Structure 1
């Protein structure tokens, strides 16, 4: 039992350090050696848990990136109340909540998509599952809003869901190019105007 706990803690250490290095320096430029150095694990201890960077990359997507998207953008959609207000506040408030570090480094999922989205099918599938889950939850909320008459019944739910995801991910990538939040403020103004058009 104690050995299992130690093993889980070691794996968590590797994934945490790998995520930080991927986020700051990129996936392709981060070597196994750099991850090993960050963990301060011996070569034997390290390779006992993960055979290669591909395995680590998949675990980072499943355990770190997926968790961030679910906690930040999917779970809030399940709140009680006015569907339109939930949709609006989720997208508007999430952008405002990011610390400077996250603004400077962009969205970890978007970074992965841009860097390795065409690199390996297993990565494509893992990242696509996150996007599809997010899209599905958005569609459900929009449809709920239509039924509640807080969101216009005439809008195309799937198209709106994809647009919102794309715009959100896009601005997070663009923000990396700037030294301040002016570009984010402009995005938020545009987003607020767009969301207002969805209101019933």
Structure 2
């Protein structure tokens, strides 16, 4: 195996295993030593690829967390079809797709926001980029819905987008407190009621 390819595989291993550890145990409590023990790599291998845990954290957010949000919550919004139906199917479908592990551990992005976003501007920038991309996709879909007369033209696209993101992230966090999905069922009922109010 070429050295360059081996180096890339090592970096990918560190990135993926770090995400799993951050998601399970939290960013602050996961040490570089713990990451190296999990990957069976040396500290030298870590510092060859990353200057610090902070740099690794930013890459985990930008490479893994952002992709998760994009694949699950942003890309589906650009599909064709009725805008309101697309909103409901994207949000409720994503909730239904989560494993029990995902439900028990909440949203990785939200976990990062709650744990470290107020400490470093670099973390804020990386996390805000995800929120802004999600918000833009929602605004785009809502505007399309207005043009197609499936959404009330008087609503604020930005306000609705922020509300939808906040409610979704909120219920992901609250679900960690419970042992069943009843709160998710109530959220989805509330989502349907809210979206019905957006009709012309």
Q: Which bin holds the TM-score, normalised by the shorter protein?
A: over 0.9
Q: In the alignment, which residue of structure 1 is the partner of 2:104? A: 104
Moved more, 38-47 or 57-66: 38-47
- 1:93 to 2:86 alignment: no
Give the Cα–Cα distance (whole angstroms) in 1 for the partners of residues 87 and 150 of structure 2: 11
Give the Cα–Cα distance (whole angstroms) in 1 for the partners of residues 183 and 85 of structure 2: 24
Give the Cα–Cα distance (whole angstroms) in 2 for the partners of residues 32 and 45 of structure 1: 11
Q: Runs of 4+ in structure 1 displaced over 3 angstroms?
A: none
Measured after TM superposition, the shift of residue 131 of structure 1 is 0.2
Quote the RMSD (CA, aligned, Å).
1.0
TM-score, length of structure 2 as denominator length = 0.97
- 1:165 to 2:165 alignment: yes
- 1:35 to 2:26 alignment: no
Give the Cα–Cα distance (whole angstroms) in 2 for the partners of residues 113 and 59 of structure 1: 15
Give the Cα–Cα distance (whole angstroms) in 2 for the partners of residues 167 and 131 of structure 1: 13
Write out per-residue CA displacement over residues 102-159 of structure 1, whole angstroms, 9 at most, x where no aligned residue.
0000000000000001010100011001100100110000000000001111111000
Moved more, 88-97 or 54-63: 88-97
Q: In the alignment, which residue of structure 2 is the partner of 1:190? A: 190
Gaps of 5+ in 1: none
1:6 is paired with a residue of what secondary structure? helix
Give the Cα–Cα distance (whole angstroms) in 2 for the partners of residues 55 and 98 of structure 1: 28
Moved more, 76-85 or 23-32: 76-85
Give the Cα–Cα distance (whole angstroms) in 2 for the partners of residues 162 and 2 of structure 1: 47
Q: In the alignment, which residue of structure 2 is the partner of 1:17? A: 17
Q: In the alignment, which residue of structure 1 is the partner of 2:72? A: 72
Gaps of 5+ in 2: none
Q: In the alignment, which residue of structure 1 is the partner of 2:145? A: 145
TM-score, length of structure 1 as denominator length = 0.97
Write out per-residue CA displacement over residues 5-55 of structure 1, whole angstroms, 9 at most, x where no aligned residue.
211111110011110010000001111100111110022222111121001
